Structure 1
Amino acid sequence: MDDHHSGPVETGAPMNYEEHESTYDLFIAGTKWGTMILVVLLIAMAAGFFTTAGFLGATILFIILNIAGFLLLR
């Protein structure tokens, strides 16, 4: 009824560490750039809605902050 195994049932395929590292690096880069873009978008939206900057001012602020963010985070 009860099977006793002396070792692991399935060991699986060997890890491809190069692929794992490249996937992790891609995930970290996407998280970093995505977070920067979302923060800049929120700042630009706050400037557009709560100040007299309006849509054009918020768009210009969005572009300027994205350029500054890309230069600082690379």
Structure 2
Amino acid sequence: MSEHHSGPVEVGASMDYAEHDKTYNGFLFAAKYGTMAVVILMLCMAVGFFTTAGFVFSVLLFVVLNALGFYLL
């Protein structure tokens, strides 16, 4: 049923570590800033819907908090 290999595990082309690092760093960047943006969006939607602040203030708050988050991260 199972095959027993005695040769090397890696039989394909050699790994391009520079490209791997670029892809991994891009994924981390997207995950970090994407999560930040979604959390800020949810916070600003709550401010806009559940307080008397209104739509314009929540959009302004969204822009300011995103700018601050990108600066601090």
TM-score by length of 1: 0.84
Using a 3 Å threshold, how does the CA distance of structure 1 residues 6 and 37 change in structure 2: closer, same or farther?
A: closer
- Percent identical among aligned pairs is 57
Over aligned residues, Cα RMSD in angstroms? 2.0
Structure 2 residue aligned with 1:24: 24
Inter-partner Cα distance in structure 1 for 2:5 and 2:35: 48
Counterpart code for 2:37:
I
SS across alignment from 1:13: coil
SS in 2 for 1:12: coil
Bigger-Rg structure (1/2): 1
Q: Which 5+ residue runs of structure 2 have no aligned equivalent?
A: none
Residues 1-74 of structure 1: matches in 2 within 5 Å? 6-7=6-7, 11-73=11-73
The amino acid of 2:43's aligned partner reads: I
Give, as a single letter, the amino acid of the residue that structure 1 aligns with 2:72.
L
Following TM superposition, by how much is the alpha carbon of 1:6 offset from its aligned partner in structure 2, in angstroms? 4.7
Normalization by structure 2: what TM-score?
0.85
Q: What is the CA–CA distance in structure 2 between the aligned matches of 1:15 and 1:21, rounded to whole Å?
A: 11
Paired letter, 1:51: T
- Structure 1 residue ranges without an equivalent (≥5): none
